[in-house]
Amino acid sequence: MLRQVADGVLIHESEFIQSNAVVVQGRAGVLLIDPGIQGDEMAALANDLSDSGQPVVAGFSTHPHWDHLLWHAQLGEAPRYGTARCAASLRDLLWDAGWKARVAEGLPPEIAEQIPLDLFGLITGLPAGTARIPWDGPQVRIIEHQAHAPGHAALLIEERGVLVAGDMLSDALIPMLDLNAAEPIEDYLAALRLFEGVAGDVDVLVPGHGSVGGAGQVRGRIDQDRAYVHALRDAAVPDDPRVGPSAKPGWEWVRDVHNGQAQRLARRSERDGTPG
């Protein structure tokens, strides 16, 4: 179930689009990042942790998208953190009494029944500018940026050389831009520059979806994401193995994601005359 990727850092890969939950061992229990998707998976993870005497003492959601905001009662009642912007965007969603139906509409129909929403999105926002997750374990640096979703945070577990990238730097999924933002292209490129600044400290890269990468893959994935974003900006056809016939089996739908965001960007630039 849990696979060690570095000293004291383990991952659990969900069936749904290779979603990675990350467990970081601390002194009195674990930090659980983006816990998983289906109820039985999270319950099994909770059992594994409690069997090994490791309660969840803190949670973290990398960004306010449904597949990073789930929780299971058996994981307990530890504080679940996110950035202030992440929490604010959830407040906007959850204030409405009809939020559950709205979230449910966006779930993949084939597994929607297995996705528990009772504890969805109960995120405590850390004050803006918080540098590290407040918990009793290895220092976890928060690298906040505005690519992909409001208040997205990547996490750098400095002593272990692990970068938890959230929904970026995937070998399977192309950069998905936050097309509701004012400057989605520039936001994305700025986030990639932040990653470049820490790349030398990373031995293990864990994307939110896709395969774990080693030290030798960090710069390659940054370059690949940047090239994709440049192609999108320039309305060019991306030369990207994740789009098209060379996509990983089961990931052919990524081409539709690409086409969808290329069309939305084209409409935007028609509307206001500026790219992105």
Packed helices 218-233 and 254-272: angle between N→C axes, nearest 10 degrees: 50
Please identify, using beta-carbon distances, which residue of 43 and 111 lies nearer to Zn ion: 111
* Binding track, positions 25-64, relative to Zn ion; x by CB under 5 A: ----------------------------------------
Q: State the Cα–Cα distance between residues 194 and 147, nearest whole angstrom.
A: 11
The CB density around residue 247, as the number of other CB atoms within 10 Å, is 18
Choices 4-12, 48-56, 122-130, 164-172; region in contact with Zn ion by CB under 5 A: 164-172
Q: State the Cα–Cα distance between residues 146 and 190, nearest whole angstrom.
A: 8
Site size toward Zn ion, by CB under 5 A: 2
Residue nearest to Zn ion (CB): 65
Residue 80 found at the interface with Zn ion (CB under 5 A):
no
Q: State the Cα–Cα distance between residues 86 and 84, nearest whole angstrom.
A: 5
Please identify, using beta-carbon distances, which residue of 68 and 233 lies nearer to Zn ion: 68
CA 146 to chain centre: 12
Q: Is 69 exposed, middle or buried (0-12, 13-18, 19+ CB in 10 A)?
A: buried
Please identify, using beta-carbon distances, which residue of 25 and 83 lies nearer to Zn ion: 83
User: Shortest CA distance to 174 belongs to which of 156, 154, 158, 188?
Assistant: 188
CA 40 to chain centre: 21
Q: Which of 34, 41, 167, 225 binds Zn ion (CB under 5 A)?
A: 167
Please identify, using beta-carbon distances, which residue of 19 and 38 lies nearer to Zn ion: 19
Least distance from Zn ion to the Cβ atom of residue 55, Å: 27
Residue 195 near residue 207 (C-beta atoms within 8 A): no
Residue 65 found at the interface with Zn ion (CB under 5 A):
yes
Please identify, using beta-carbon distances, which residue of 148 and 160 lies nearer to Zn ion: 148
Q: State the Cα–Cα distance between residues 268 and 185, nearest whole angstrom.
A: 12
Least distance from Zn ion to the Cβ atom of residue 7, Å: 28
Q: State the Cα–Cα distance between residues 20 and 224, nearest whole angstrom.
A: 20
Q: Structure tokens of 91?
A: 């407040």
Q: Structure tokens of 230?
A: 């440049």
Choices 21-29, 45-53, 165-173, 234-242; region in contact with Zn ion by CB under 5 A: 165-173
Least distance from Zn ion to the Cβ atom of residue 153, Å: 12
Least distance from Zn ion to the Cβ atom of residue 216, Å: 26
Choices 41-49, 98-106, 161-169, 190-198; region in contact with Zn ion by CB under 5 A: 161-169
Q: State the Cα–Cα distance between residues 195 and 212, nearest whole angstrom.
A: 16
Choices 2-10, 38-46, 159-167, 247-255; region in contact with Zn ion by CB under 5 A: 159-167
User: Which residues from 90-129 bind Zn ion, rule CB under 5 A?
Assistant: none
Least distance from Zn ion to the Cβ atom of residue 210, Å: 12
- Residue ranges that bind Zn ion, judged by CB under 5 A: 65, 167
